[in-house]
Amino acid sequence: MVVEFMNDPNIASVFFHHIPEWVLAGHVAFGKDKLVPIGRIHYFFHWLYGKYEPLILRLVDWILRQTFITQTAIGSSVMTGLATTSHYLPHGIIVPTSSAVRLVRHIENLKDEENTPILAVGPCVCQMSLNRWQEPSCKDIVVLYGAEIYLHLNRGYRIITAAEAQAILEQCRDAGLVHSLDFCMQSGRWHFVICNCDRDICVLTRTFLLTGKMLYAGPWIVKQDRQTCLGPELCGNCVNICMFGANYVKEGVISVDGGKCHGCGQCVQVCKGNSREMIRRKRYAHEHIIPADILLPG
């Protein structure tokens, strides 16, 4: 219905006459080897989402703070149902810093001829929407047409290089935050932001923690060497830092649940025994969104 409306040349010309010129400019999205143009319907709907995103985040935050939702089985089922029906709203693929850096460098190398902005950073949209600030707060790395949209929404975003993005990603990693490559419509063409998430404020992560929805495992998984692990008494850092609850202690021994590991790499950073490394996941399920050969070394 909406698509028919947009495709009618008479109606569409009147409609588009009333929206800013920049909405109609050429925009680029993510393609495996090149930037690909996106249509104005794509751009317009994402612009609309960006405009009302703070409102959506405040609403979800309010839902997540209701004890009926968090502490009853019915409430949690309701939330899981809501998360399931949000299939085409932003979802994220979890990656370690090395992969997020590879992605921003890949995007920078794909610069398009029109030289439109393709990397920008601004205040964390969750922190801004909920007015709950925590450093680092300037960490919303918007990419491709997402950079254009958020620059025009005028919320304090600025254009950055891939080198600057790398510095921000490393700062976020050192603060214990997890990189999430977010996209809408279950499509890589709708990839628009690299979020750096915590477990207290980030709305997407909090929704995941309650429902198990909206965040996907990336192309890496952790491998642990039990021989060199210092154990929970002398270390235990992996258990504390993992926001996916993938590490557990059984009879004084630490193990990883591979089914829960999302491949963020945080436990490797804090492992006192150098007992952990990231390895390629056997089955990466989101090749169609962001291909593994962009995220992994050759």
In the complex, least distance from residue 256 CB atom to ligand SF4, rounded to whole angstroms: 5
Q: How far apart are CA 62 and CA 249, in angstroms?
A: 34
Contacts to ligand SF4 from residues 55-74, by CB under 6 A: none
Q: How far apart are CA 197 and CA 203, in angstroms?
A: 9
Tell me: cis bond preceding 219? Omega within 30 of 0 counts.
no
Helix, strand, coil % in the chain, rounded to nearest 5: 45, 20, 35
Q: Can you tell me which of 102, 276, 281, 286 binds ligand SF4, judged by CB under 6 A?
A: 276
Q: Can you tell me which of 271, 289, 290, 296 binds ligand SF4, judged by CB under 6 A?
A: 271
In the complex, least distance from residue 222 CB atom to ligand SF4, rounded to whole angstroms: 4
Does 264 contact ligand SF4 by CB under 6 A? yes
Q: Can you tell me which of 266, 281, 291, 296 binds ligand SF4, judged by CB under 6 A?
A: 266
Give residue number: closest CB to ligand SF4: 235
Number of H helices, E strands in the chain: 14, 13
Question: Between residues 26 and 176, which has the closer beta carbon with respect to ligand SF4?
Answer: 176
Does 211 contact ligand SF4 by CB under 6 A? no
Element (H, E) at 46: helix 40-64
91 touches 211 (CB < 8 A):
no
Question: For the chain, where are the E strands, in sequence order?
Answer: 27-29, 36-38, 91-95, 119-123, 138-143, 158-159, 178-183, 191-197, 215-216, 220-224, 247-250, 253-256, 276-280
Q: Which stretch binds ligand SF4 (CB under 6 A): 6-14, 35-43, 82-90, 271-279?
A: 271-279
Q: Which stretch binds ligand SF4 (CB under 6 A): 47-55, 142-150, 188-196, 229-237?
A: 229-237
Q: Which stretch binds ligand SF4 (CB under 6 A): 61-69, 147-155, 165-173, 231-239?
A: 231-239
Based on its alpha-carbon atoms, the radius of gyration of the chain, rounded to whole angstroms, reads 20
| Binding characters for ligand SF4, 232-261, by CB under 6 A (x = yes) | ---xxxx--xx-x-xx------x-x----x
Contacts to ligand SF4 from residues 103-162, by CB under 6 A: none
Q: How far apart are CA 78 and CA 84, in angstroms?
A: 10
Q: How far apart are CA 98 and CA 264, in angstroms?
A: 10
Which residue ranges make up the site for ligand SF4 (CB under 6 A)?
222, 224, 229-231, 235-238, 241-242, 244, 246-247, 254, 256, 261-267, 270-273, 275-276
